[in-house]
Amino acid sequence: MKRRNKLTLGIIGLATVALFASGCTANFCTPKEKSRIAYALEPGVSQFVVEGSEFDDREAFYNQPVGESKIRQVIKANTDDNGNITGYPGTGLISQIYSSAKSSSIAVPSINYFIDFDQEVFNQCISQYNTDHADAVIDLNNPNQEALASCLKDYGYLKFYGTESNGSYDNYKAINRKLRQNDDFSHVASLDFEDYYLSSLDSAVSKYHSYITVYDEVEYGNYNGVSIKLEKVTWKDAWGKGGHLIEGLIVYPVAWLVDTFARAFAGGKNASPAQISAAYQTGGPQILSILLVTVIVRMFIFLCTFRSTMAQRKMTELQPELAKIQQKYPNANTNQAQKQRLAEEQMRLYKKHKVNPLSQLLVLIIQFPVFIGVWGAMTGSAVLSTGSFLGLHLSASIWETLKVGPKVAAGWWTALILILLMSGGQFFAMKVPQWIQKAKTKDVARLGKNPAQKQQNRTANMVSYVMLAMIIVMGFTLPAAMGVYWFVGAIVSLIQTVFTQVIFAGGKKKK
């Protein structure tokens, strides 16, 4: 196999491993949180309001009191002449699931099924709320609209949550079983529809990855007017996630820093929940947090790889002497004897100057798991799923924002500028060290050309450009927070390049 083909396969393999490893970071979601996400995405078709209140719409398709209470169940479903649902305005995923099921020739339940289902969920929410708030129960004969809204927001997840083994979607199945026992099979959801519904819902829920927060019962994200309440994740939880070492060592610490700094920039301990929420909506605290965390992570990598970096600088300084050695063996690419003698002389040179040519591997060994861990942290940090910066949601991918166009996506221009800045920053972070090296070794070219060295340079350039292309492509597909991280990281890398050059130049002058 030719060297170029081997290189290409190696790069593809590296990209595959990176994508696979990034998907191996554990999901910090609990069954209760999964149920909360599901309810936020699919809260049903009904609204429950106090009779006679400003929310009580008498023109709704269905507006009936719940039992003998003063609470009314309101629904504005679009139906045809036969009462079949044709759309649910503003009610989340159910409209899509309903239409998709019909197009897949799956029998769909009647509108009364969804109405009955929502009422059963409502009764369970009221019961649980009154159990947990014995001193301030909701009186169905004299209800309070604010308490009613709080009840559904805090306990709506019961629509899916259960106490069986896996804890997710159990209650949905239980309610369906109850409705099947009490109603005509033509009215309720069939097992086929139930499976299709849960499969579609689970697919949507699985796209939400931001579950890591270091604060108790914090609300992050908002779908269909329903906030997602998450529970505190501890370092102990991180170590217990499927035995993945990377969660405990990197993912959780980085996510902890992101959440802690964002909270500090949002007002800290003295700020009220409302003030913190308002600050998060601007996206400012999150951006500042990413900036600070990026500097910390990059400095950590820099300190861990400083000796290896300086060794690479020494190798750069040795280029003229290496070139002279290579001129002695012009056919090292094809002649095995010359290749061996070339390697021996190079190793003697390295040993003389105390340089280890394999030291660059240490940089990769440290950078790769850190990259995967930061990826998992930026994706999993709940605070980055809240609010938006200049219209761009940090948890949304740049590509998803750009493809809908500037007229639809509020953060379209922000996403475009971010990907340009990130790409430009990565390009200069890659090329500036090469330009410095070329300037320092410009006299090497006068010594003549060596086929082996020429091939090595070509290979190195190809690897650099392919890696740059990979980062840019991933910058499009990953959350925008990673784009910010890579842009800031590129700036830090440029500063580090200048710093190491100054340090190395100072060391040479002393000698």
pLDDT in tens, 80-90: 666 566 665 54
Weakest-pLDDT range from 133-137, 379-383, 462-466 = 462-466
Rounded CA gap, 306 and 315, in Å?
14
Going along 149-285, which residue ranges are E strands? 218-223, 226-230
Quote the pLDDT of residue 289. Answer: 94
Output the pLDDT for position 458: 65
Q: Are 346 and 322 in contact (CB under 8 A)?
A: yes
**Number of H-type helices and E-type strands within the chain:** 20, 7
How high is the pLDDT of residue 165?
Answer: 47
At residue 23 the predicted structure's pLDDT band, cuts being 50, 70 and 90, is very low
Q: Is the pLDDT of residue 70 over 70?
A: yes
| Structure token digits, residue 124 | 């369970």
Highest-scoring range by mean pLDDT, 84-98, 409-423, 444-458: 409-423
pLDDT value of position 440: 64
What per-residue confidence (pLDDT) applies to 19?
47
Residue among 211, 292, 294, 208 nearest 483 (CA): 294
**Helix/strand/coil percent split, the chain, to 5:** 65, 5, 30
pLDDT value at residue 1: 46
**Do residues 428 and 494 lie in contact, with contact meaning Cβ atoms separated by under 8 Å?**
yes
Cα 434 vs. chain centroid, distance in angstroms?
32
Q: Binning pLDDT at 50, 70 and 90, where does residue 441 land?
A: low
Decide which of 8 and 388 is more confident.
Answer: 388
Query: 442: exposed, middle or buried (C-beta count within 10 Å: 0-12, 13-18, 19+)?
Result: exposed
**Which value, to the nearest 10 degrees, does the dihedral of the CA atoms of residues 10, 11, 15, 17 take?**
20
Q: Output the average pLDDT for the chain.
A: 78
- Which amino acid belongs to residue 156? G
Amino acid at 72: R
Number of Cβ within a 10 Å radius of residue 197? 24
Nearest to residue 447, comparing CAs of 327, 317, 319, 316?
A: 327
The residue type found at 452 is: A
The predicted structure's pLDDT at residue 24: 44
DSSP 71: E
Of the candidate ranges 140-144, 268-272, 369-373, 459-463, the one whose mean pLDDT is the lowest: 459-463
- Is residue 140 pLDDT above 80, yes or no? yes
Q: What mean pLDDT comes out for the span 5-33?
A: 55
**Bridge partner list, 212:** 381
Answer with the residue of higher pLDDT: 398 or 294: 294
pLDDT at 294 > cutoff 90 = yes
pLDDT at res. 112: 83
What mean pLDDT is predicted for residues 427-451?
A: 67
Q: Which residues pair with 381 in a beta bridge?
A: 212
Q: Does the pLDDT value for residue 144 go beyond 60?
A: yes
List, in sequence order, the alpha helices (H) in 206-305: 235-239, 245-246, 252-265, 273-282, 284-304
For residue 163, give every residue at least 6 positions away whose Cβ sits within 8 Å of its Cβ, in sequence order, or none.
170
> What is the pLDDT confidence band of residue 265, given thresholds at 50, 70 and 90?
very high
Instruction: Compute the radius of gyration of the chain from its Cα atoms.
Output: 30
Segment 417-429 shows an average pLDDT of: 89
Token readout for 327 is: 């001129």
Q: Which residues 6+ apart lie within 8 Å of 254 measured at CB? A: 293, 297, 373, 374, 377, 378
Among 204, 254, 168, smallest CA distance to 92 is for 204
What does the pLDDT look like over 315-363, one tens digit per residue? 666 767 777 777 777 776 677 777 787 777 778 777 777 776 666 666 6
pLDDT tens profile 216-245: 767 776 665 666 778 788 888 777 754 467
Q: Does position 412 have pLDDT exceeding 80, yes or no? A: yes
Find the mean pLDDT for residues 7-23. Answer: 49
Which has the minimum average pLDDT: 52-66, 357-371, 403-417?
A: 357-371
Give the whole-angstrom CA distance, residue 255 versus residue 250.
8
pLDDT band of 21, cuts 50, 70, 90: very low
Q: How far is CA 20 from the centre of its chain?
A: 14
- Give the span between the Cα atoms of 338 and 327, in whole angstroms: 11
- The greatest distance separating any two alpha carbons of the chain, rounded to the nearest whole angstrom, comes to 100
